[in-house]
Structure formats: structure tokens, C-alpha cells
Amino acid sequence: MPDRKRSGFSSAAGLIQYYDMEETKALKINPYLVMGFGLGAAVLVEILNWRMI
């Protein structure tokens, strides 16, 4: 009979278990900050590319 204390989707005959718990120790970064850094890097690359021509 399956163990009722564990919850979550299991795969590969129970070798891998996926839990719906959220990691609390992970570094959390605002998505807008990531988009801003990406956009800033793209602008910087384009400016440097334009200056090298």
C-alpha cells in the first residue's frame, strides 16, 4: 500500500519525486530587474558594435 504521508507526483517507478513545495532559501530576483539587465546588455552591445564600425 502506498505511503500516504508523502505527496507529490512521482516518476520513474518512484525514483524521482516532484513536490509542490517552494524553495525558501533560494535567491529571489525581480523579473523586471532581469529584463532590465538584459535590455541594458543588448543596448550596450549595440552601442559598442556601432562604435567599432
Q: Residue 47 pLDDT > 90, yes or no?
A: yes
* pLDDT for the residue 1: 52
List, for residues 3-15, the tens digit of each pLDDT value. Answer: 555 555 555 555 5
CA distance 35 to 13: 39
Q: Tell me if 6 sits within 8 A of 17, measured CB to CB.
A: yes
Classify 53 as helix, strand or coil: coil
Q: Report residue 18's pLDDT band, with 50, 70 and 90 as the boundaries.
A: low
Mean pLDDT for 3-30 is 65
Q: What is the pTM of this model?
A: 0.50
Q: Residue 46 pLDDT > 70, yes or no?
A: yes
- A 10 A CB-CB count for 21 gives 8
